[in-house]
Structures are given as C-alpha cells and as structure tokens.
A and B are shown apart, each in its own frame.
Chain A
C-alpha cells in the first residue's frame, strides 16, 4: 500500500486558528446538552451486571456454613495458582470442609475458571472490584474475607444457572 504523504505545513484555514477554535467550541456546546455518561467514582459506585467477574468469593449458606467441600478442583484448575485449599473432616453430612481456604489476590487473574469447575456452586465471582492492599500478606484472602452470605450472591447464582 502506498504510504500517504503527510502534509508538511498547516494550510491557510488552519493557520488562521479562529475557525478551528469555533469548530471545537461547537462540539463542546453540542455535548453539554447530551445526557451525562461520566460516573463520579468513588462518590458514586459502579453497580456491575450479574455477568461481571469481580473477586472470587465463597458462598456461605444461611446456616453459616460454607458450601465448599474442599475438593481442590478450583485450586487445580487455577492457571495462576492463586488458590490454596486444605481440607479437614467435619461431622456434617458433607464430611469434608476447607480448614483453610486462601486466595492470593496478587496471583488471581479473574478468569472465573474456579467458578466454572466448582461442582458445588461454592465459589462464585462477586461484584466486588475494589481491591486494595499495602503489602503481599494483605493480598492473601482467607476464609474470613472470602465467605459471603448466599443472600448477597443471588444475582450471580441465578446468572450461572441460566447461562453456565
């Protein structure tokens, strides 16, 4: 393809400057009367749709127990090796529960594989996108930070049932 030659200098109209200003201002005034699209974050929070993949969280049943049975599939499928699970035995019917469940948010790439592979619908991607930490240790989320009541995750669970 022949390379289009770039004009060396501004032409007369451009050199005059005033018409260009007028053109620019015309656009400005036109936009002033259009509806606003800018969100004033952080005063106004973005409410993501159900399909949004925020940080992965563990579903906590109404009884207060996590759904997770510590099968380790999320840990195995995680391409970034962000998840560490250590299982232990429980008296509950599910027999097995995660004694330790840690996600290293510095490793997590929000791919959602953990959610996809989970046989219990116990780990889901939340709408939480505000992740701030000041050191590496802070970035490792344990069960205290990961457990989210099932009531807060209804959107996502419904989305998964419809589209997964």
Chain B
C-alpha cells in the first residue's frame, strides 16, 4: 500500500484517495466546510489548504490526490496563516448573530473561528445584506446572510436526493442560493441539508428555536418510520423529544434520513393522547385502575375462552423482546392463532431510503416467534374468524388494527374480549376492554430488525414513571444532571407506561409461566439462547452499528449513495 506522511505521521492509503480522506482515515482532522465524505468534491471553501513538500503553493486537501511518498504539513506556520486568512475572508460578510442562530453549538464556522482564526477582522465597511428568513421549501428556512456558499446543499439535492432543485445565483459576494423558478425545495430529503449545512443558513422549520443544542441530551436510537431502520439520535430536553437527527451508519442509512421519518415518528411520544396508566372498560367507559387489577381482569377474562377462540396479534412496532415474550405466553397458553399485521403502503417508496413496509420491526417480530404454528390462523384468517365470531378474544400488542380500515374496526366491535397494549389512545382502544399502557420506542431498551436483517439497538431517551435517567444510565444533559424535583424544568411529563415485555411477563406470572426478567437485556439473552436467528447476539456485539441476524437468507441491500 502506498504511504503518505501527514504531520510526521506515516499513513497508509488507497490509491485514488485525496489527502483529506487519507488524513481522516489516520485520525487527523483537516478543517473543511464544503467537503463531505458522501458528496462530490467542489473545493470552493479553501479552508482545507495544506502545505505539501516540493509543491510551490499550498494545495486544497479535499481535491488533491494523495501520492506515495507525499509529505504534508497541516499545522505549519504557512498553513495556519492561510487558514486564518480564509477564515477572515469568510467572516467578512457573515453576520454576528450566533445568539439567534439555531446552528450555534454545532456550527463548523463557530468552531473553526474559535480554533483557527485570529479573533478579529480588519474589515470596517458595512457587511453585505441579503434576504433572511426565506422559505425555500415547506420544511426549510434559508438565511442568505449566514450562507458561506459551500454548495453542500446543492450537491446533496443533486447527487443524493436526485432532485436538482437548488442553485447559486449572482456572483462574487452577492452569491446566494435559491430554488429554480417555480420550484419549491420540497423533496423528501430536504432536512438533511440542515444537518450538512456547516453554518446556520438552512434551518428546520419544525425545530426552529425550539432548543439550544447544548440544552439537550442525545441518545442513539432507530427510526420507526419504515423497515429501513435508519440510525438516529433522539434529542431530548425537559424529558420531551425535540428532534431526531440521522446517525452515520454506512451499511444502513449512510448519513441520511428522510423528512417523513424525521418529523412524523416522535411526536406521538409526548402527545396528549398518550395512555397514562392501565384502564379497563366498565359500563362502556374506560376507567383507570391499578396494574394489578387490570392484569387480573385480563387473566380472568382470557381464561373464559377456549384456546381456539383466542388470537394473539403481535406487533411490528414492538421490539423483538416484546414479541418474543408475547409468543412465549401464547405458546404456554396453547394459543396457536398468533400473527401480526403488516403495514405495507404500496407504491410509497423511493430509491434512497424510504421503504413500503411502514413498520420498523416486521422481520424481528416474525423471527422472534410471531407466526401461526400447529395449524393456527394467519392474520387475515384471524380477522375473518373474528367477523364470523369464531374467534371471540383478541390480545393485541401495540398495534392499531381499527386504524387499518373500517372493516377491521367493525370486526373488533364483534369481539367479546379485547386486550390491547397501546402507546397512544387510538381507534383500537375505543373497542378495548383492557388497555395496558406500553412504553414508546424512545422509552425502552430493545432490538429492531430491519428489512435487511440487521438487528439494531434502541436505547431509552425519555423516562417513564418507573425509569430514572441517572440510575438507568441514560444520557443526560447538564440540566438533567443537576435538576431536583423542585425545579420546574426538571419535571417534564412522565407517563405510567411499561415496556410491553414487562407487561407480558407480569401477566404470564398469573398464568403460571415464570417469565421473570428484570431487564430487556435479559429477555434478549433468553431469546438468543432459544432462537437460532439471534444466536450469539447480545446488546454489546450489536452495539451502535447493528449486527446481522443468523440462519436466514435475505437480499443484500444496495449501497446507499
């Protein structure tokens, strides 16, 4: 392999890599604004200038190919001077409005100004004024003055999103970004430009001014919008989810996630329709009761039916652990009618990330044991049987069957007993006799298996009544660390909800099945011991990047751009 020397460190690189790529691989960070590892090279910000021995002038590290024996200095006096000069140029027209700007705290320009610039400007003339608060698209706000014309957003829409919607107009220091005439910047990936914008020129209309970045805690999670399972970070302030951002995982979603997933998959967690505490139906009304009373009723009522009259509906929205224990309970009771509903939106997909299957864990649910066995009925057969009253009792895990359509709702109305685990009140809970509040994806540990068979970890980002940020090792902001019960800001809403696996394990005790688990991790350990698909997997080796499930053949997904 060819070798390059950067700052006295000899690094190996692949032929065709640029200096910046070789340096990054070797753990050396060369400042950059316009360069992005997943985008083409444009080389217009000039901040990555480095000194290369035997070359008369400084070169930009992002577009100069590394060569064998090349000696590069990224911190020599000449380089630092050039970098300072570039910073001074960029800052000439950049407004000093960091206090207002949403990017502050995660701003490359702010970081580099702190790290690399001399701290003052010799420019005494008035700064250039451009349009502020321009609505480029339904989800994107643009501030022309903050823009440093790196063209990342333009290249992203062109190369990644495949929609050529943005362009530069005008020249010199008047250059600004706009959409093509008559176009709106409205593709399903626009919010990624907010992430890659090195300054605060592009901001999210949804997240705008909601919170400063340093006030939030960030937790690794997985998007629940479709079966792609994009890796995300959940940003929480006052125990409320403020935003989702994509987390880099080359094998699953690269750096990106779609706008649909980013905006529509977390708001229900803090919605006012959240189920808070278990309830049972008395005289047509749902009444709040204790956990014990609700579980006792669920047990007593289930006992009234023959096993052939009962069906269990698992869920592709619940974790593998939830479904695993659910299937164990069904097996123990001798219920063979067990399946789950597929949520396929035919035709609603694109060539980048979005998939037709709108659930995060359909493969995981199936592999964890949610499938009809010993002549049990499949989901469609179960619903048919419900209609003709052959099946009289239904136990549903975190799914809104009535929301699937009128005929499903009508069928649920015919049941004698309906037990539902629900995160939010929905059409299905309208028919339920027992509603058990389950923790949302952001409140529990667990595993989702995406369409390609990658098992990925969910971590709790917000607390329920029974969890504690500090004791459960969740990520904490400064406010979480020092807040007391007397501080209003430390008291976000917390719901009396439990992970479904825990609810199922509590119910199982009443049926004489000893599913005694303290943590989701123990449930998963049991799953990996009993199930060949999860053999050898545990929370540690799944880690941040996920791990493939075993003994199953699946199509290898295309590489994300």
Contact = CB atoms under 8 A, between A and B. Distances in A.
B489 A72 contact: no
B12 interface: no
B348 interface: no
Contacts of A107: 487
Contacts of B486: 136
Given A72-B214, A76-B212, 14 more contacts: A71-B99, A71-B212, A72-B212, A72-B215, A75-B215, A76-B215, A81-B479, A81-B482, A89-B209, A96-B100, A96-B209, A102-B488, A104-B487, A119-B98
Nearest to A72: B212
Interface string B204-223: 00001111101100000000
20 contacts: A71-B100, A71-B104, A72-B215, A73-B99, A76-B478, A81-B483, A81-B487, A87-B209, A87-B210, A88-B209, A89-B208, A94-B100, A95-B100, A95-B132, A95-B133, A96-B209, A119-B98, A119-B99, A120-B99, A140-B488
Contacts, number: 45
Interface string B488-503: 1100000000000000
B209 A70 contact: yes
Contacts of A96: 100, 209
A84 interface: yes
Nearest to A137: B488
Nearest to B210: A87
Nearest to B96: A119
Interface in A64-97: 69-73, 75-76, 81, 84, 87-89, 94-96
Contacts of A75: 215
Contacts of B99: 69, 71, 73, 119-120
A102 B215 CA distance: 15
A87 B478 CA distance: 18
A75 to B, nearest CB: 8
B130 to A, nearest CB: 15
A54 to B, nearest CB: 23
Interface residues of A, number: 22
A119 B478 CA distance: 22
A96 B132 CA distance: 13
> 8 shortest A-B CB distances, which residue pairs?
A71-B99, A72-B212, A87-B209, A84-B489, A96-B100, A119-B99, A69-B100, A69-B99
A75 B483 CA distance: 13
Nearest to B209: A87
Interface in A39-80: 69-73, 75-76
Contacts of B489: 84
Nearest to A120: B99
Contacts of A76: 212, 214-215, 478
A30 B487 CA distance: 54
Contacts of A95: 100, 132-133, 209
A156 B433 CA distance: 65
Nearest to B481: A81
Contacts of A136: 486
Contacts of B210: 87
A74 to B, nearest CB: 11
Interface in A114-132: 119-120
B215 to A, nearest CB: 7
Contacts of A120: 99
A82 to B, nearest CB: 10
A84 B479 CA distance: 10
Contacts of B208: 89
A140 to B, nearest CB: 7
Contacts of B487: 81, 104, 107
Nearest to A122: B99
Interface in A127-164: 136, 140
Interface string B86-114: 00000000000011100010000000000
B314 to A, nearest CB: 40
Residue from B98, B100, B210 whose CB has the most chain A CB atoms within 10 Å: B100
B379 to A, nearest CB: 45
Contacts of B209: 70, 87-89, 95-96
A104 to B, nearest CB: 7
A102 B479 CA distance: 14
Interface string B240-282: 0000000000000000000000000000000000000000000
B204 to A, nearest CB: 12
A134 B208 CA distance: 38
Nearest to B213: A72
Nearest to A76: B214
B533 to A, nearest CB: 46
A138 to B, nearest CB: 13
Contacts of A72: 212, 214-215
Interface string B398-415: 000000000000000000
A71 B133 CA distance: 18
A105 to B, nearest CB: 13
A105 B231 CA distance: 42
Contacts of B215: 72, 75-76
Nearest to A107: B487
Most A C-beta atoms less than 10 A away, residue of B214, B478, B489: B489
A45 B478 CA distance: 39
Contacts of B483: 81
A152 to B, nearest CB: 24
A42 B482 CA distance: 37
A139 to B, nearest CB: 10
A71 B215 CA distance: 11
Contacts of B98: 71, 119
B260 to A, nearest CB: 24
Contacts of A94: 100
A71 B479 CA distance: 16
A89 B99 CA distance: 13
Nearest to B237: A86
Contacts of B214: 72, 76
A107 B479 CA distance: 13
A104 B104 CA distance: 25
A46 B483 CA distance: 35
A83 to B, nearest CB: 10
B489 to A, nearest CB: 5
Contact of B488 (A69, A84, A119): A84
